[in-house]
Structure 1
Amino acid sequence: MSDHDQLLGQLIDHMTASGSLRTQPWKEAAASVPRHEFLRNGFFRMVPGSSPTAWAPVLEDGDGWLEACYADESLVTQIAGTIKPTDIRGEIMREPTSSSTLPSLVLRMLEDLEVEPGMEVLEIGTGTGYSTEVLCARVGAGRVTSIEYDEEVALRAREALGRLGTYPNLLIGDGLLGGNEGALYDRIIATCAVRTVPAVWLEQTRPSGQILTTIGGWLNASELVRLTVHEDGTASGPVLGGQVSFMLARPHQAPPLSLLPDLSRGKEREAIIGADVLNDWTTRFVAQFAVPNAQRLKLRHGQHDEDLLIDVDSGSFAALHEEDGHWIVRQEGPDLLWDTVEEHLDRWHTAGTPAVEQATVHVTPEGQSIHW
């Protein structure tokens, strides 16, 4: 038995024990895919103790490369939108922009997709091609379409899949615009997060078909959602939970903050709910449905440390600070952001702050909402 076969076997055992790999067909599919084939261009490893975070390349056959390929962890494969591990020596301090998702999450999502042989599947975000290969092993390459936004990433995935003799329908383009024009799919799965589910995904899913995607936002909380598409072109389904986190699709990433508004302006009142509630992941996830265009900052203003919600498009802001045990909010703009957050969270609290797994997301071509 080769080293990678032994490591793959250990990974399969780990995913089975953790509950992410639950059924025999997916176990067989995962066991047929050598993950290292999709990481031959190397990956970036976080430099311990670095601040800001630095990344160092780990190349094929380098120290710990093969073992890391079969570890149940995400591996960064691109930095700053263009830089791959073979491009640098030393360290780089920029933001990751592409990665190979930890295998247990890939298999958990494929299990949750409830896909069966014979179904047509669209994958949004080919990435390294690892998840594409596992999907092809289960339903057949002829049933799989995968679209990747980044052309270089797509070409490397095509090479890796080709080495294994797998030839799905690979597209290069914006997956938020769907797959092949006019195509219909039984399942759509996204390996990036979206702020709102694109209307074209609803259009390209057959009635009773499913969409599995991570819904996130600019308050930095996200969850996995499985939507069933209805005859009327809407969709609904449960939040599956687990605090699943993916990079937002590039067109859905937050716009840069330039000049801040005059934070001394606006009307003040005592807040019913303090900004400290946004330190909780689930609360942020719920709040994002109320203020989907708001970004959160922490800054010093005058004599106070303030939490700031700002909508750069409308210019609306809400600044909150704590004073003598009370929270004070100051707001200005066409949208009273904190009023909206308080009203939305009040409905959640009235329902008993149920866990996200008890929530249902409803999606129409015009937008989305969350209900308990």
Structure 2
Amino acid sequence: MSAEPDTEAVAAGLRRRLADQLEEGGRLRSHEWRSAVEAAPRHVFVPRFYRETDAPGVTTWEPVTQETVGREEWLRLVYTDATWVTQFDGRDIDWADPKPISNAVPTSSSTLPSLVVRMLEDLDAHEGMKVLEIGTGTGYSTALMCHRLGSESVTSVETDEGVARRARAALAGSGHTPHLLVGDGRAGCPGDAPYDRLIATCGFRSIPPAWLEQVLPGGVVLTTLRGWMRSLGLVRLTVSGEGASGWFSADDPSFMIARQQDAPESLGTVPGPDDGTRRKATYGPEVLTTSGPAFMAQLAAPQARFFSLPVDGGQAGTFVLDSTTGSFAVLTVTDSGRQVRQGGPYRLWDAVESAVATWEEYGSPNRAVFGVTVSRNEQTVWLGNPNGPQWPLPS
């Protein structure tokens, strides 16, 4: 009877297959990053994880380990182009007796390799460059950079001590020794500055000023901008002496927001049935969940969040609340059309409708037509060119 292939031999074959898939999909474009994908043992960085089930009702995740699904299936899943959740609600998982999890918020994961590799290709980092990574996570993307650039060129910041500890062990076990530290990613790591490149694998509401102080002029910042309602998208900025500027990607990747920028627990005060003034609405609540219009809504109402509740005798209503200013909008759709009731110092739905109308006036473009300018005093997203329609990012 022939011996069963060992784990590393099977994993090496799966890594080559994954590299083939990423190359065929156009995400993996260079020999150097292909070599990194073929070398980095993702199964070391993601030895246990959760996957979402297709059970109806509340979203539920089930644990995946060698013991629960068998070694062959575990390895196959690890090297699938998928995101695997490794933590919920900022708490470590008891892997001695893992159970299905519901009603929880993922707070750490191993991002799908196609997105990781695409971002690394877009970062355009080469030998001799120093890179700062914000969000170590499992350490898999850190390992890819260490293979490509050398451990001495990579600094990575992780906000969660337990997550950082596991990543450090996995990196060391894979022969990599980057500079790892636990801290607030918004502060970067001034001790290792300056950097040629900065890449963030969590979302930020705006560009932290410390990043621009630590990245050399001509250097690149690659991050996801996002708000409390949705992700704005991936942006690539070139740093200058005055700040930075660049463009959004056409894609819509959505990273978890940095923990220090989570929305306040309180949504704000739910308005009473007679609060505010009513008018017909040009756009209904669908703009909050449709990709292009929702991008505009996030720009127009950066402090707001939305949810649905019964109003006016049981009719469904969508509440848009700004807990910072106390402004609100309540949207309903009836046989007579769309209605909005809004109040507070800031007319939320007026701003959203104006932004969506501008987007439509410009031909409903994708994100690649939007850019970002960052200066010492303000940060703005603009449409078409820096002199076009603008929306400020929250400070």
The normalised TM-score by structure 2 is 0.89
Matched, 1:76 2:85: yes
C-alpha displacement of 1:219: 1.8
- Equivalents in 2 of 1:259, 1:87: separation in Å? 42
In structure 1, the residue matched to 2:310 is 300
Which has the larger displacement, 185-194 or 1-10?
A: 1-10
Q: 1:344 is matched with which residue?
A: 355
2:18 is aligned to 11
- CA distance in 2: counterparts of 1:139 and 1:118, whole angstroms: 7
Structure 2's unaligned 5+ residue stretches are 385-395
Does the residue aligned with 2:350 lie in a helix, a strand or coil? helix
The answer as to whether partners of 1:43 and 1:85 remain within 8 angstroms in 2 is: no
SS state of the match for residue 222, structure 1? Answer: strand
- Equivalent of residue 30 in structure 1, options 7, 32, 37: 37
Query: Of residues 283, 295, 302 in structure 1, which corresponds to 2:293?
Result: 283
Residue 47 of structure 1, aligned match among 16, 40, 53: 53
Q: 1:258 to 1:341 in 2, by over 3 A?
A: closer
Q: Which moved more, 1:58-67 or 1:295-304?
A: 58-67
How far apart are the structure 2 equivalents of 1:87 and 1:202?
Answer: 43
User: Root-mean-square deviation (CA), in Å?
Assistant: 1.8
**1 CA distance for matches of 2:116 and 2:283?**
37
Quick one: which amino acid aligns to residue 79 of structure 2? Y
Residue 259 of structure 1: how far off its partner (Å): 4.5
In 2, the alpha carbon distance for the partners of 1:132 and 1:4 equals 19
Q: Counterparts of 1:74 and 1:212 in 2: how far apart (Å)?
A: 20
After superposition, what is the alpha-carbon deviation per residue over 1:150-194, rounded to whole angstroms, capped at 9, x for unaligned?
A: 000000000000011110010101101212357221111010111
Deviation, structure 1 residue 300: 1.3
Structure 1: how far apart are the matches of 2:17 and 2:192? 42
Distance 1:338 1:48 in 2: 35
1:244 correspondence with 2:263? no
Aligned residues of 1:221 and 1:282 also touching (Cα < 8 A): no
What is the rounded CA distance, in whole Å, between the counterparts of 1:371 and 1:258 in structure 2?
A: 31
Other structure's SS at 1:284 match:
helix
Q: Does 2:378 match 1:369?
A: no
Instruction: Please give the secondary structure, in 2, of the residue aligned with 1:86.
Output: coil
Q: Give the whole-Å Cα distance in 1 for the aligned partners of 2:366 and 2:201.
A: 24
* 8 Å Cα contact 2:268/2:326 also seen in 1: no
Calculate the TM-score normalised by the size of structure 1.
0.94
Match of 2:137 in 1: 127
Hey, what's the Cα distance between the residues in 2 that align with 1:151 and 1:173?
9
Structure 1 residue 272 and structure 2 residue 282: aligned? Answer: yes
1:320 and 2:331 correspond = yes
When structure 1 is superposed on structure 2, of 166-175 and 295-304 the one drifting more is 295-304
- Paired letter, 2:172: G
> Amino acid of the residue matched to residue 263 of structure 2?
A
* Cα distance between partner residues in 2 of 1:45 and 1:271: 40
Instruction: Check conservation: 2:143, 2:176, Cα contact below 8 A.
Output: yes
Q: Is the 8 A contact 1:43 1:84 kept in 2?
A: no
Aligned residues of 2:307 and 2:319 also touching (Cα < 8 A):
yes
Q: CA deviation at 1:248?
A: 0.8
Task: Give the Cα separation in 2 of the matches to 1:61 and 1:25.
Answer: 35
1:263/1:199 Cα in 2 relative to 1: closer, same or farther (>3 Å)? farther
Instruction: String of CA shifts for 1:112-149, please: whole Å, max 9, x gaps.
Output: 11111111111000000000000111111111100000
2:255 paired with 1:213:
no
Q: What's the secondary structure of 1:223's corresponding residue?
A: strand
Gaps of 5+ in 1: none
Residue-by-residue CA offset, 1:257-278 (whole Å, 9 max, x unaligned): 3642325301112223333222
How many residue pairs end up in the alignment? 370
